[in-house]
Chain A
Amino acid sequence: GQQLNQSPQSMFIQEGEDVSMNCTSSSIFNTWLWYKQDPGEGPVLLIALYKAGELTSNGRLTAQFGITRKDSFLNISASIPSDVGIYFCAGLIYNQGGKLIFGQGTELSVKP
């Protein structure tokens, strides 16, 4: 079945540093989504990407849909303590019931 490989698994950074994480797959996806999950909460959508090559920003977050449609990255600039959490990428293929395939997650820790 389809799988997403998300890296790194965890990151421990200083406040103010930039962060980059990515997802790759052997399958082609029509949509890439990036979610953040806080402890004890459900995932919250950060950025949605719908076209190959698309680069989208949401505040300090920037994400890109890879040209090959098999990968995506998420960058966080000037990290702050509230960025702490687990970040998930998810890929969607049309005409499969809208099913999402999730990466394993990147756990981000930010030291003040």
Chain B
Amino acid sequence: NAGVTQTPKFRVLKTGQSMTLLCAQDMNHEYMYWYRQDPGMGLRLIHYSVGEGTTAKGEVPDGYNVSRLKKQNFLLGLESAAPSQTSVYFCASSYLGQSQETQYFGPGTRLLVL
């Protein structure tokens, strides 16, 4: 069991470039999440998905898009990167987001936008 994996681990972009971050989980979890973490702050939810083919906005969705074409994968896209999107991005997954539930996190993707 690899758990939650993220690719790439680190990326440098120029302002205006686009990229896609990939999250994969092998635990057959229904729910998946994308967070960003900035210095001195906790994790903030960008987008999430409660199942294959469905996505929803989180706390800070602007400038990001997501897709959940397969249950095990959750993609985070930046169409036109901005320096404000320099951050560490974490993916997480959980079973159903209900009672007795917890979220498991990936190792993170460090993104620098110049």
Seen from chain A, the residues whose Cβ lies within 8 Å of a Cβ on chain B are 1, 4, 6, 9, 30-31, 33, 35, 40-45, 48, 50, 88, 90, 92, 94, 96-100, 102-105
Contact = CB atoms under 8 A, between A and B. Distances in A.
Contacts of B97: 92, 94, 96-99
Which label, helix, strand, loop or mixed, suits the secondary structure of the B interface? loop
A33 B103 contact: yes
Going nearest first, the 9 A-B pairs with the smallest beta carbon separation are A98-B97, A102-B42, A42-B105, A102-B43, A43-B105, A98-B31, A42-B107, A104-B42, A48-B102
Nearest to A41: B107
A4 B43 CA distance: 11
Contacts of B48: 97-99
A6 B40 CA distance: 12
B46 to A, nearest CB: 11
B98 interface: yes
A8 to B, nearest CB: 13
